[in-house]
Structure 1
Amino acid sequence: MASKRLACRECHHIVSADQNACPHCGSSSLTEDWAGYVVITHPEQSEIAEKMEVTEPGEYALKVR
């Protein structure tokens, strides 16, 4: 069984459920209510990263509620 993942409401970064804050932006506003999943490996070459305003490689939620 997969462990629960949370998404940061500020930067959409995906984190494990045992974290209290986002390691990317430091926000403690995390939620289970997210949809879509994208892994960005080279944000400087990614149109999706540009639209999402992502500058760091990582796992991101496409939609966070």
Structure 2
Amino acid sequence: MSEKACTSCKMLTSKERCPVCKNPTSSNWSGLVIITDPDNSDVAKELNISLKGEYALRVR
């Protein structure tokens, strides 16, 4: 099963719609960042990520 990225929040999922924000997903994405502790992560703050999980860096 191929991973897809949300077109809005960029969270990776295998579904057609994002489980977090309910926006459509795209299979055309690149880059991967894994956030384990969004409260203490400078990367998560820079990318405006508030939930732990896997995220794409770029989604088309």
Paired AA for residue 17 in structure 2:
A
Q: Highest CA radius of gyration, 1 or 2?
A: 1
Aligned-residue sequence identity (percent) comes to 37
CA distance in 1, matches of 2:36, 2:18: 18
Paired AA for residue 24 in structure 1:
V
Paired AA for residue 5 in structure 1:
E
Give TM-score scaled by structure 1 length.
Answer: 0.85
Partner of 2:10: 12
Gaps of 5+ in 2: none
Q: How many residues align?
A: 60
CA RMSD of aligned residues (A): 0.9
CA distance in 1, matches of 2:37, 2:5: 20
Offset, 1:62: 0.8
- Give 2:21's match in structure 1, choosing from 18, 22, 25: 25
CA distance in 1, matches of 2:25, 2:3: 10
Partner of 2:34: 39
Q: Deviations over 1:6-40 (max 9, x none)?
A: 00010000001xx221011111x211111011110
Gaps of 5+ in 1: none
